[in-house]
């Protein structure tokens, strides 16, 4: 989420959690406002429409995710190292920002076509980081029956931490990330 404790940032933080819990259409502006500590009309001083909240959340988290993914692979040659770094970063990120991340995964259908396409374009760039690593690996003898299928399997599996991760849970994000990375890498390497 955008930094800061300003009202706009708090609105986005609350909206992300509500959209995560009940979906975009299952959440109303009055509920968000109440939890922010404000009345619904006041939110329109910060955002023009409810859909802008969803777009800000989904687009913002995808842009951050892409940037972190690009950092993770920068200068790394070996595809196994690249894939491991990507998975590790992906899982840790999805633990720490699980509300926004899951909203960006599941609630895009509520955006109009143009904005949905804008978010998806960023997501496609991000997924390409994974697919490139998998395809490079396939060229070096990994077991990859279908690069798209395997790539999607890995990212989906790694995203699933958004469902169950808890800050006060038994496992730290980096432990979970390591477990997933190990699992996936064993899965593709002969």
Residues lying near a copy of itself in the complex (CB under 8 A) are found at: 21-26, 106-107, 109-110, 143, 145-146, 149-150, 152-154, 156-157, 160, 163-164, 171, 176, 179-180, 182-184, 186-189
Would you give the binding string for DNA spanning residues 150-169, x where CB under 7 A is met? --------------------
User: Which DSSP state fits 160?
Assistant: T
Residue 62 CA, chain-centre distance (Å), reads: 6
Three-state secondary structure call for residue 146: coil
Q: Which one, 39 or 140, has the nearer CB to DNA?
A: 39
Q: Which of residues 6-65 bind DNA (CB under 7 A)?
A: 6-7, 27-30, 33, 38-42, 44-46, 48-51
Question: In angstroms, what is the minimal distance from the CB of 55 to DNA?
Answer: 12
Q: Which one, 72 or 107, has the nearer CB to a copy of itself?
A: 107
| Alpha-carbon gap, residue 185 to 84, rounded angstroms | 7
Question: In angstroms, what is the minimal distance from the CB of 106 to a copy of itself?
Answer: 6
Q: Which one, 51 or 160, has the nearer CB to DNA?
A: 51
Q: Is 4 in the site for DNA (CB under 7 A)?
A: no
Residue 160 CA, chain-centre distance (Å), reads: 10
Question: In angstroms, what is the minimal distance from the CB of 189 to a copy of itself?
Answer: 8
Question: In angstroms, what is the minimal distance from the CB of 51 to DNA?
Answer: 6
User: Which DSSP state fits 189?
Assistant: -
The structure tokens listed for 34 are: 């109440």
Total Cβ atoms within 10 A of residue 5: 7
Question: In angstroms, what is the minimal distance from the CB of 184 to a copy of itself?
Answer: 7
Instruction: Provide DSSP, 166-186.
Output: -TTSSS-HHHHHHHHHHHHHH
CB–CB of 69/94 below 8 Å?
no
């Amino acid at each position: 989420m955008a930094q800061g404790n300003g009202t706009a940032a708090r609105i986005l933080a609350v909206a992300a959690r509500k959209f995560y819990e009940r979906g975009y259409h299952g959440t109303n502006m009055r509920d968000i406002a109440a939890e922010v500590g404000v009345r619904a009309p006041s939110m329109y001083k910060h955002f023009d429409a409810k859909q802008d909240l969803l777009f800000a959340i989904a687009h913002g988290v995808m842009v951050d995710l892409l940037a972190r993914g690009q950092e993770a692979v920068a200068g790394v040659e070996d595809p196994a190292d690249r894939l491991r770094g990507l998975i590790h970063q992906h899982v840790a990120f999805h633990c720490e920002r699980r509300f926004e991340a899951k909203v960006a995964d599941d609630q895009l259908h509520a955006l109009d076509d143009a904005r949905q396409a804008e978010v998806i374009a960023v997501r496609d760039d991000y997924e390409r980081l994974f697919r490139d690593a998998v395809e490079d690996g396939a060229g070096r003898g990994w077991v990859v029956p279908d690069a798209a299928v395997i790539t999607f399997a890995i990212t989906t599996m790694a995203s699933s931490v958004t469902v169950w991760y808890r800050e006060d849970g038994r496992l730290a994000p980096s432990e979970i990330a390591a477990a997933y990375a190990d699992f996936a890498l064993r899965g593709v390497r002969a």
